[in-house]
């Protein structure tokens, strides 16, 4: 009976040659194999991996047991097992279990091969051949044996199982079960396999399709195939990583194009080269060859790489590049780094403000980077950063011709892409060549122009493929059959060529001679890998003694520092350096810099992913936990600069209570940088974690912190009236009420109040704001008091109580101090002082104080600019445009609206964007650009409806009515007017109907309707305005009435009384028109 203990053919620890089982010394180099053989019998660490499982079962064993004596049956089954084992061992399969008359066999464990699926099928065909030979021997005993074989490829967890007296290495998961179920579908002496396995080997065997089959215990039917016979190998290969520095083949034309671009750039005709292609096609290798060709020329080369982990951090590749270029050492004192950078940047002609902005990006641990709103705060500030960076590049290029390479634009952040876009416009007169690389999924936003060239790299032709293989083999000739297989498998992709050739040279299939390689034996039919996973796993298995280090590095990320790895791995320096050197030598890692600051980068993300996915989830969690703890204990800079990194590792470690606070900290940093989308992403991650934790006061309090921050961020990106805003603040209010914590009640109450205000439910907004104000007065929280007065005053204003509303807003302004700003931003998402001024200005105009309204509006804009908070500035500009429109100042309205539109578009502020768009459209209409203006108003109203807002809707619709009237579209105007009146009545905003009735009167006049109808509308407008003490609206209605009935003494007397009431604003169009009408002789 075959031995139950796992026997792994020993691999030589010196040369890597795979020796037959039982060898004591290496057949290639003569080294002792005892230790290596023992390693094959010790515990194999459990891991996740893809394997191909074969289940082989003897047909009719029950009938045989009835016919044969037990001793004869034992001998027969043993012969059958030995025959199967012979075929299995020939293809390096591993018999995991002998299950009576069945065999469970693994291909890909304990050692992976690049072609395990093919090996399994070859072994199956070998079993059928062995059974045929065995049956010839059994013919005299009148016994004929047959087998059924099922094969499936998939993910398993494999490792030691069993008790103290018996240990086995078993694979758990659905894959072995599927293989067993498939075996049951096979006819005697037939092999069936799943569609998954068929996809890997479809070009190497001939099959009969059995169609979709329903298997017991499997939810969905699966496609099943029967193997008929082997055929010549033909298969493709998935992508790998950037090739090592091997000779460049087949890129002469592209290299010449690069060189030509450089020559033009060096002559101060700046060039952009867009270099695209799939992963592994040789983009980086081409760039390396080009740079090497310039080694004798005077030039400067700068390079940076976009990262998928940093795509939310603005300009991250650029700032990382500058940090390296200016040799900023992490262990240097902050003041020294700052002075050194200031000096270096000043030499390039940058001013103090520009230097300060760049310092915040290059030194993310700078105190200024956290206290200031940072480089994403405003459109103006962002443009300043772009200008500073462009000036720096111009300065560098002016000293010597410059090559700037930005790799992997498919992972870029929006700001870096925008900078590249600006550079593409300004590069034309600079001695600068910019090379942007990308994968085909990225569509470059720049069209090809005179100074912009796009190159897409294609696979190599057959003769270049063979030349590259020959070079990788050290100039020695490979067997023709091997060369043909390599060419077929690699499809001309340089990375595939390199990786597969290296694997062949490392597997022991070839014997090296002086000037050629020879096959060590018959070439296995599927000696070349057909799947990415199998090929990478095989490479990892060949580095088994350093596998722990490479997998730990994979958990850290795509790149890692030596310092972090040493602290996490907890092994001595000599051992770690040796193991990392082996990984570099094997081509799995690149190394950058020198110890102790050396960094290591996985050759490709897919290599890293394979190493990571092979770890058990429990091991991954342990590693993530250790990494997070080391970062917290030893890297305080990361805590402040990249809390999201620590949050990520704690999250993957499933230590959610530790992860959540760091997600919150990351969101706060994003909010301070005016990156609300990034903040929302972090907050949602944290909230998802909290849902998995037990409900305790501590977790509820933390959830409340997240909800308050999320509410303010959603207001900025979605608008005040978004459904998500209501849900978030409602949940926050419930949590705060449960905890009985007033400080958290305020933002929840006021957030909900603002939601209802913008939705047009003024009564509910009033109620909630009043409740918040009472609590704030008890606690005497100044920031909350200002916000409460703002929300309550606004709600009261829209209910038509102008004087009371004005009193609240004035109280808010009196209590406001600029030092409250950061607290307001964190709790409410805007500066309450700015908004108090905005609404007060509007009220003052309605009350008949147009000059005071203008002054307060200007104060709001000045304050918002000083605070440099984008959303507050957008609000101030929009309201300033609104006040200018009320004053009928066309140019001022347009100027302010256009600035607001630019800022809102930059940051995605839909609420203010919609209003500013309508106001700008009104201004265009007044400038006799009716078609353009009306289209813009309609577009703004569409955006407004999308936010769910009802507030201001009557006013905005009134502007459309007015524009329709000016354009002579009276019927359309009356139709929209009906909608505006309905909206005003629904919301309870009756005082603004005064303006709507005035517009109705004007439209009716244009239609030539009876004077009595027109007069009735003016009378309604006057009555409502008078009731609400809206003096400006009353004046406008009176002006309209006198204009329509100039000889009406009552109308003239009313206009005169209104005009005499005013004490300011005599330079406004409304009062000038009133004066003109009163001066006319009756």
Give, in words, the CATH class of 694-887. Answer: mainly alpha
The pLDDT > 70 percentage for the chain reads 88
Asked whether the predicted pLDDT for residue 610 surpasses 80, the reply is no
- Mean pLDDT, residues 1039-1048 taken together: 82
DSSP assignment string, 460-510: PPHHHHHHHHHHHTTTPBPPHHHHHHHHHHHTT-HHHHHHHHHHHHHTT-E
Q: Check if the beta carbon of residue 903 is closer than 8 Å to that of residue 874.
A: yes
Q: What was the pLDDT predicted at 8? A: 42
**What's the CA gap between 321 and 424, in Å, rounded?**
19
Say which residues have a Cβ less than 8 Å from residue 517's Cβ, sequence separation at least 6: 473, 476, 477, 478, 479, 482, 505, 510, 511
Q: What was the pLDDT predicted at 498? A: 79
Superfamily in which the 45-228 domain is placed by CATH:
Nucleotide cyclase, GGDEF domain (3.30.70.1230)
- Mean pLDDT, residues 1034-1040 taken together: 93
**What's the CA gap between 926 and 937, in Å, rounded?**
12
- Mean pLDDT, residues 642-666 taken together: 92
According to the per-residue pLDDT averaged within each range, which of 541-550, 762-771, 1015-1024 is highest? 1015-1024
Q: What was the pLDDT predicted at 199? A: 83
Q: What was the pLDDT predicted at 881? A: 97
Asked whether the predicted pLDDT for residue 576 surpasses 70, the reply is yes
Q: What was the pLDDT predicted at 380? A: 74
State pLDDT tens for residues 388-405: 888 889 988 899 999 999
Q: What was the pLDDT predicted at 6? A: 38
Three-state DSSP state, 988: coil
Asked whether the predicted pLDDT for residue 469 surpasses 60, the reply is yes
Domains of the chain: which residue ranges?
1-42, 45-228, 252-455, 463-530, 544-615, 616-691, 694-887
Asked whether the predicted pLDDT for residue 753 surpasses 50, the reply is yes
| Residue 241: band (very low, low, confident or very high) from pLDDT cuts 50, 70, 90 | very low
User: For strand 167-172 and strand 517-519, is the pairing parallel, antiparallel, or unpaired?
Assistant: unpaired
Q: What was the pLDDT predicted at 775? A: 83
Asked whether the predicted pLDDT for residue 419 surpasses 70, the reply is yes
State pLDDT tens for residues 937-956: 999 999 888 888 888 889 99
Cα R_g (the chain), whole angstroms: 38
| Residue 534: band (very low, low, confident or very high) from pLDDT cuts 50, 70, 90 | low
Domains 252-455 and 694-887 share a fold: no
Asked whether the predicted pLDDT for residue 921 surpasses 90, the reply is yes
- Select from 60, 102, 54 the least CA-distant residue to 81: 102
State pLDDT tens for residues 954-973: 999 999 999 999 999 999 99
Give, in words, the CATH class of 544-615. Answer: mainly alpha
Q: What was the pLDDT predicted at 341? A: 80
In 694-761, which ranges are continuous DSSP H helix?
A: 697-718, 723-739, 742-759
Q: Where is pLDDT greater, at 973 or 245? A: 973
Edge-to-edge strands, sheet with 432-438: 300-305, 402-407, 432-438, 271-276, 452-456
Asked whether the predicted pLDDT for residue 704 surpasses 80, the reply is yes
State pLDDT tens for residues 29-69: 444 443 333 323 333 578 888 899 999 999 987 788 878 88
Asked whether the predicted pLDDT for residue 825 surpasses 80, the reply is no
Angle between helices 379-399 and 890-907 (to 10 degrees): 70
Q: What was the pLDDT predicted at 690? A: 92
- Mean pLDDT, residues 342-353 taken together: 82
CA atoms within 13 A on the CB side of 954: 21
Q: What was the pLDDT predicted at 39? A: 28
Round the average pLDDT of the chain to a whole number and report it. Answer: 83
Q: What angle do CA 910, 916, 920 make, to 5 degrees?
A: 140
Task: Please return the burial class of 912, using the count of CB atoms within 10 Å of its CB with bins 0-12, 13-18 and 19+.
Answer: buried
The pLDDT > 90 percentage for the chain reads 38
Residue 923's CB: how many other CB atoms inside 10 A? 26
**What's the CA gap between 780 and 773, in Å, rounded?**
10
Asked whether the predicted pLDDT for residue 261 surpasses 90, the reply is yes
CATH of domain 252-455: 3.40.50.300
Name which of 89-93, 229-233, 234-238, 642-646 the model is least confident about.
234-238
Asked whether the predicted pLDDT for residue 503 surpasses 80, the reply is no
Q: What was the pLDDT predicted at 646? A: 93
Q: What was the pLDDT predicted at 546? A: 82
pTM beyond 0.75: the answer is no
């Amino acid at each position: 009976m075959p031995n139950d203990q796992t026997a792994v053919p020993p691999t030589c620890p010196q040369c890597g040659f795979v020796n037959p089982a039982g060898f004591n010394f290496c057949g290639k180099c003569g080294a002792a194999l005892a230790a290596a053989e023992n390693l094959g019998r010790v515990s194999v660490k459990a891991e996740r991996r893809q394997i191909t499982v074969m289940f082989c079962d003897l047909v009719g064993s029950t009938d045989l047991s009835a016919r044969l004596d037990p001793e004869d049956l034992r001998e027969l089954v043993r012969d059958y097992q030995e025959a199967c084992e012979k075929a299995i061992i020939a293809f390096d399969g591993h018999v995991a279990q002998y299950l009576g008359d069945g065999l469970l066999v693994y291909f890909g464990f304990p050692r992976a091969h690049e072609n395990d699926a093919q090996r399994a099928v070859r072994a199956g065909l070998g079993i059928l051949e062995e059974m045929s030979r065995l049956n010839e021997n059994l013919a005299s005993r009148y016994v004929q044996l047959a087998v059924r074989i099922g094969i499936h490829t998939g993910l398993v967890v494999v490792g030691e199982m069993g008790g103290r007296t018996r240990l086995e290495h078993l694979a758990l998961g659905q894959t072995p079960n599927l293989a067993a179920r498939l075996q049951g579908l096979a006819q005697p002496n037939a092999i069936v396999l799943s569609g998954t396995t068929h996809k890997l080997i479809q070009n190497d065997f001939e099959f009969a399709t059995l169609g979709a089959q329903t298997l017991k215990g499997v939810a969905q039917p699966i496609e099943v195939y029967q193997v008929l016979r082997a055929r010549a190998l033909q298969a493709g290969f998935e992508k790998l990583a950037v090739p090592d520095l091997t000779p460049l083949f087949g890129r002469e034309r592209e290299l010449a194009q690069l060189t030509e671009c450089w020559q033009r750039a060096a002559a101060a005709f700046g060039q952009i080269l867009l270099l695209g292609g799939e992963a592994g096609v040789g983009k980086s290798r081409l760039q390396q060859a080009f740079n090497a060709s310039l080694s004798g020329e005077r030039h400067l080369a700068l390079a940076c790489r976009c990262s998928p982990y940093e795509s939310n951090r603005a300009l991250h590749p650029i700032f990382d590049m500058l940090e390296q270029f200016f040799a900023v050492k992490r262990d240097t004192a902050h003041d020294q780094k700052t002075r050194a950078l200031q000096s270096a940047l000043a030499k390039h002609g940058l001013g103090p403000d520009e230097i300060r902005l760049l310092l915040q990006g290059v030194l993310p641990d700078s105190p200024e980077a956290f206290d200031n709103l940072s480089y994403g705060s405003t459109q103006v500030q962002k443009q300043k950063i772009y200008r500073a960076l462009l000036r720096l590049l111009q300065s560098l290029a002016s000293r010597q011709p410059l090559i700037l390479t930005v790799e992997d634009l498919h992972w870029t952040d929006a700001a870096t892409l925008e900078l590249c876009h600006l550079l593409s416009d300004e590069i034309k007169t600079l001695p600068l060549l910019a090379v942007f690389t990308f994968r085909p999924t990225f569509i470059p936003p720049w069209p090809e122009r005179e100074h912009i060239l796009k190159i897409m790299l294609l696979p190599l032709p057959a003769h270049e493929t063979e030349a590259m293989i020959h070079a990788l083999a050290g100039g020695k000739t490979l067997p023709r059959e091997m060369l043909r297989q390599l060419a077929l498998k690699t499809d001309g992709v340089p990375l595939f060529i390199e990786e597969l050739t290296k694997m062949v040279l490392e597997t022991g299939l070839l014997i090296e001679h002086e000037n050629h390689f020879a096959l060590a034996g018959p070439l296995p039919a599927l000696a070349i890998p057909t799947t990415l996973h199998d090929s990478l796993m095989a490479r990892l298995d060949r580095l088994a003694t350093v596998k722990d280090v490479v997998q730990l590095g994979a958990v850290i990320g795509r790149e890692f520092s030596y310092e972090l790895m040493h602290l996490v791995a907890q092994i001595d320096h000599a051992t770690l350096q040796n193991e990392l050197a082996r990984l570099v030598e094997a081509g799995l890692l690149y190394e950058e810099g020198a110890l102790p600051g050396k960094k290591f980068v996985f050759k490709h993300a897919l290599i890293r992913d394979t190493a990571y996915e092979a770890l058990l989830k429990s091991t991954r969690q342990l590693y993530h936990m250790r990494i997070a703890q080391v970062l917290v204990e030893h890297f305080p800079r990361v805590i402040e600069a990249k809390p999201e990194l620590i949050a990520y590792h704690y999250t993957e470690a499933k230590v959610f209570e530790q992860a959540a606070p760091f997600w919150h900290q990351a969101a706060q940093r994003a909010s301070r940088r005016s990156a609300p989308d990034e903040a929302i992403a972090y907050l949602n991650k944290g909230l998802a974690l909290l849902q998995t934790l037990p409900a305790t006061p501590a977790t509820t309090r933390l959830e409340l912190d997240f909800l308050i921050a999320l509410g303010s961020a959603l207001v900025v990106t979605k608008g005040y009236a978004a459904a998500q805003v209501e849900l978030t603040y409602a949940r926050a209010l419930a949590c705060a009420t449960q905890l009985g914590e007033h400080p958290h009640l305020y933002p929840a109450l006021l957030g909900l109040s603002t939601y209802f205000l913008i939705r047009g439910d003024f009564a509910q907004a009033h109620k909630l704001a009043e409740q918040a104000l009472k609590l704030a007065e008890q606690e005497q929280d100044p920031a909350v008091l200002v916000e409460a007065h703002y929300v309550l005053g606004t709600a009261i204003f829209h209910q038509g109580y102008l004087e009371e509303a004005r009193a609240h807003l004035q109280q808010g302004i009196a209590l406001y101090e600029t030092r409250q700003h950061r607290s307001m931003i964190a709790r409410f998402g805007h500066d309450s002082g700015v908004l108090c001024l905005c609404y007060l200005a509007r009220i003052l105009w309605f009350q008949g104080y147009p000059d005071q309204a203008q002054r307060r509006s200007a104060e709001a804009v000045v304050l918002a600019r000083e605070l440099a908070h984008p959303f507050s500035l957008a609000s101030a500009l929009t309201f300033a445009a609104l006040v200018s429109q009320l004053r009928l100042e066309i140019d001022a309205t347009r100027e302010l609206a256009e600035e607001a539109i630019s800022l809102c578009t930059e940051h995605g502020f839909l609420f203010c964007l919609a209003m500013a768009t309508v106001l700008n459209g009104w201004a265009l209409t007044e400038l006799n650009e009716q078609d353009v203006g009306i289209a813009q108003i309609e577009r703004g109203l569409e955006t407004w409806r999308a936010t769910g807002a009802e507030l201001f809707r009557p006013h905005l619709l009134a502007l459309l009515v007015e524009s329709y009237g000016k354009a002579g579209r009276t019927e359309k105007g009356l139709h929209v007017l009906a909608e505006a009146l309905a909206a005003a009545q629904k919301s309870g905003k009756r005082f603004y109907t005064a303006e709507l009735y005035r517009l109705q009167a004007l439209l009716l006049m244009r239609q030539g309707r009876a004077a009595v109808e027109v007069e009735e509308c003016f009378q309604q407008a006057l009555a409502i305005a008078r009731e609400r003490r809206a003096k400006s609206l009353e004046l406008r209605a009176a002006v309209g009435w006198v204009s329509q009935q100039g000889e009406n003494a009552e109308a003239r007397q009313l206009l005169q009384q209104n005009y005499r009431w005013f004490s300011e604003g005599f330079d406004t169009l409304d009062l000038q028109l009133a004066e003109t009408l009163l001066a006319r002789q009756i």
